[in-house]
Amino acid sequence: GEDVEQSLFLSVREGDSSVINCTYTDSSSTYLYWYKQEPGAGLQLLTYIFSNMDMKQDQRLTVLLNKKDKHLSLRIADTQTGDSAIYFCAAHGNQFYFGTGTSLTVIP
């Protein structure tokens, strides 16, 4: 199966930008996703990007895709304490593969 990797932890100060990185191995992945999981809850889709795009912006969120390097990133501008959560990267080729999740802590 595909490997989707993320760093486990990230801390940022409130108001700064957060950048969460992800790498994947299957170059045939057609959709790439970012999910957010708040404590005690299931996963909520934040955004997704089709593999023929290299950038997608949605309000404070910017997704960058480097297909050559199989690298996906999620930038959160003006990070707020409510953004503290676990963020999962996922890729879909023939099935969904999820990363380990990055726990984002926002320091007031």
Partner 1 sequence: DVKVTQSSRYLVKRTGEKVFLECVQDMDHENMFWYRQDPGLGLRLIYFSYDVKMKEKGDIPEGYSVSREKKERFSLILESASTNQTSMYLCASGSGVVRQYFGPGTRLTVT
Cβ atoms < 10 Å from Cβ of 42: 7
Q: Please report, as a single letter, which amino acid is at residue 28.
A: S
Looking at 35-43, 52-60, 63-71, 73-81, which segment touches partner 1 (CB under 8 A)?
Answer: 35-43
Site for partner 1 in 48-107 (CB under 8 A): 48, 88, 92, 95-101
CA distance 38 to 12: 17
**Quick check: 9 binds partner 1 (CB under 8 A)?**
no
> Measured from the CB of residue 38, what is the shortest distance to partner 1 in angstroms?
10
Residue (8 or 77) nearer to partner 1, CB: 8
> Measured from the CB of residue 45, what is the shortest distance to partner 1 in angstroms?
5
Residue (45 or 77) nearer to partner 1, CB: 45
Q: What is the DSSP letter of 70?
A: T
Which residue, 96, 91, 93, 86, is CA-closest to 72? 91
> Measured from the CB of residue 43, what is the shortest distance to partner 1 in angstroms?
4
Instruction: Enter the tokens of residue 32.
Output: 């790439």
Rounded (to 5) percent helix, strand, coil in the chain: 5, 60, 40
Looking at 13-21, 33-41, 52-60, 69-77, which segment touches partner 1 (CB under 8 A)?
Answer: 33-41
